Amino acid sequence: MKKLLIKGKKELIGAISISGSKNATLPILAASLLSNKVSLSNVPLVKDIYTMLELLKFIGLKIKIKNSKRIIEIVNNKEKINTLAPYRLVKTMRAGVLVLGPLVTKYKKAKISLPGGCAIGTRPVDLHLFALKKLGAKIKIKDGYILAEAKKGLRGTKIKFPSISVGATENALLAACGAKGKTVLSNCAIEPEILDLISFLKKLGSSINVFGRKIEIVGKNLTKKKINHNIIFDRIEAGTYLIAGALIGKKITIKKIETKILNTEIKILKKMGINIRASKNSISISSATSFKKSNIITKPYPGFPTDLQAQLMVLMTQAKGVSIIKEDIFENRFMHVPELRRMGAKIEIKNKTAYIFGPRKLNGAEVMATDLRASVSLVLAGLIADKRTVINRIYHLDRGYEYLEKKLKNCKAKIKRI
């Protein structure tokens, strides 16, 4: 089992180019089921992407990966395709459920394994099924599988989500593109990754308009032409390295980003006393001698992202006073707390709210990653802890961070995979 070894307290200096977004690539790969020929560039070559490509191959798409150029080419011209997403391909990567919408709307049926839960919660899909049913799909759950069909195709309708869900919004969008007539989705998630999916779907010929949290889609015959699409940058990766720079950066420049998408994160870091110089497509950040405490509640975009709270918590351990994080999206997303405590952090949790007492010196330790974002918070803690930190189960990291050690090593971090 691979581990990461970090020797702490090495100041970071240099530039980091941000990769394409995993969470934009996954729904766009699912959307390729609606197309004939697709070429995606700026794709992050991380484990979850390969898992999704496995699933698309299993369904019947032809996939070509040009690793060095981070390009994926997809051809979807098979008559008979397999409208099944088996458990073995969905259990480790819940975004596999995103093939449900495209399969039902284009091929009239789908058999999709219910995604397994994961460390951060049960991860239900009731909102996905709610939307598909509204569009006219017949849905049954049997032996751990979703059996969906729409013999006469899906029909556009009005759907108001009872709560905001990224995945359910994406599945409903994909299904509505192939439905007859107009669909109006309200109380939608509007993450930048969803807007990138929408720009891809528009290239396919869909007519989609976004008004705040309302999205209007008119089902159209989709083009058979080849679609080229460049994946948006990964704002969570960018936020992670911004926090690394805030913690121990002499000067770190984050490149290949759209700064305006990171407004919320920049505001919080500035409030904590970090000096940030931002331009349109890059941000320079340096650490401070002391940090002010801050309070955040994780919210759907444009609120503070739940995928960045574990990383911000590490910075809060160095802030003066008691910082507060309320995790408002997932029921169990503080798995990194026991590991940070073992490194010397003083953190108390009272029903989904973490109280972080600082500043506290962190000591290197042997720790264990539990989910993708928790594991990267341990890397950040290792960068500022004294002596050595060994992080186990780093396969979690490889699911969503492309070339993490290389990017940090290029900024003088002492980090290696053993």
Binding residues vs ligand EPZ (CB under 6 A):
23, 26, 95, 121, 123-128, 165-168, 189, 306-307, 329-330, 372-373, 400
Specify the residue, 121 or 181, whose C-beta has the smaller distance to ligand EPZ: 121
Does the annotation count 118 as an active-site position?
yes
116-132: buried (b, 16+ CB within 10 Å) or exposed (e) per residue? eebbbeeeebebbbbbb
Smallest distance from ligand EPZ to CB 49, Å: 11
Smallest distance from ligand EPZ to CB 394, Å: 15
Identify the burial level of 50 via C-beta atoms within 10 angstroms of its C-beta, where 0-12 means exposed, 13-18 middle and 19 or more buried. Answer: middle
Smallest distance from ligand EPZ to CB 204, Å: 20
Dig out the tokens for 296 from the structure.
């955040």
- Cα–Cα dist 198/183, whole Å: 14
Q: Is the peptide bond before 302 cis (omega within 30 degrees of 0)?
A: yes
Smallest distance from ligand EPZ to CB 34, Å: 18
- What percent of the chain is helix, strand and coil (3-state, nearest 5)? 35, 30, 35
Specify the residue, 3 or 123, whose C-beta has the smaller distance to ligand EPZ: 123
- Cα–Cα dist 5/365, whole Å: 10
- Residue whose CB is nearest to ligand EPZ in the complex, by number: 167
Specify the residue, 293 or 333, whose C-beta has the smaller distance to ligand EPZ: 333
SS3 state at 402? coil
Specify the residue, 167 or 239, whose C-beta has the smaller distance to ligand EPZ: 167
- Of 118, 177, 188, 411, the active-site residue reads 118
Smallest distance from ligand EPZ to CB 94, Å: 6
- Cα–Cα dist 72/64, whole Å: 6
Nearest to 404, CA basis, from 412, 393, 392, 415: 415
Specify the residue, 227 or 372, whose C-beta has the smaller distance to ligand EPZ: 372
Q: Which residues are catalytic?
A: 118
